[in-house]
Amino acid sequence: MSDKRVKTLTLALKISITLLVLVALLISLISCNGLREVSSYITHTIKEKSKDNAGEEEDKTKNNMRGEEIMLPQPELESNISLEEALNSRRSVRNFSSKELSLNQIS
Residue type, 22: L
- Model pLDDT, residue 66: 64
Whether 10 maps to a domain, the answer reads no
- Model pLDDT, residue 11: 92
> In whole numbers, what is the pLDDT of the chain averaged over residues?
77
Asked if 33 and 93 count as a contact pair (C-beta separation under 8 A), the reply is yes
Q: Is 22 helix (H, G, I), strand (E, B) or coil?
A: helix
Whether 74 maps to a domain, the answer reads no
Q: Which residues contact 44 (CB under 8 A, 6 or more apart)?
A: 96, 97, 98
Q: Is 12 helix (H, G, I), strand (E, B) or coil?
A: helix
The domain in which residue 32 lies consists of 17-50
Whether 102 maps to a domain, the answer reads no
Whether 104 maps to a domain, the answer reads no
With both helix axes pointing from N to C terminus, report the angle between 34-50 and 3-31 in degrees, rounded to the nearest 10. Answer: 60
Whether 39 maps to a domain, the answer reads yes
pLDDT tens, position by position, 14-54: 999 999 988 887 777 766 666 667 677 777 777 776 665 54
Whether 36 maps to a domain, the answer reads yes
Identify which has the larger pLDDT, 1 or 12: 12
Query: In 3D, which of 102, 98, 94 has the Cα closest to residue 73?
Result: 102
Identify which has the larger pLDDT, 49 or 80: 80
Whether 27 maps to a domain, the answer reads yes
Number of domains making up the chain: 1
